[in-house]
Amino acid sequence: MQKYRVDLEKVSHLFEKKLPRVIISKIYSWVLRVEMRGMAETRKILSLHDEPLKGERKNQRSIRLNKAYRLIYIEEPGHLIVIVKVIEVNKHEY
């Protein structure tokens, strides 16, 4: 099984005051799943709606944290480990 490490550096400033606690909890839950079970198993969780993005965000993927919030990430394969960089957490507008 491929090993994964999730990098939250780009969004860590949001954890202090900008994101609701329930969203932060869901992010950490997703991180643990990815690092413990791998991306293939985590993508099988249908409630996350993990999907590739299109257009300018072509190489990015998103998951739904709830109806309003999305987490956007990219995968950077390496020799021994795949780095999953979380690049954005935003409130999705309908």
Domains of the chain from N-terminus onward? 3-91 (3.30.2310.20)
Q: Which token pair is 7?
A: 């990098």
Q: Could you give the maximum distance between any two Cα atoms of the chain, in Å?
A: 39
**What was the pLDDT predicted at 31?**
97
- Its pTM stands at 0.90
The CA distance from 33 to 10, in Å, is 20
Q: How far apart are CA 72 and CA 77, in angstroms?
A: 17
Q: If residue 82 lies in a helix (H) or strand (E), which one and from where to where?
A: strand 81-91
Span 23-49, pLDDT tens digits: 999 999 999 999 999 999 999 999 999
Tell me the torsion sign for CA atoms 72, 26, 14, 90: positive
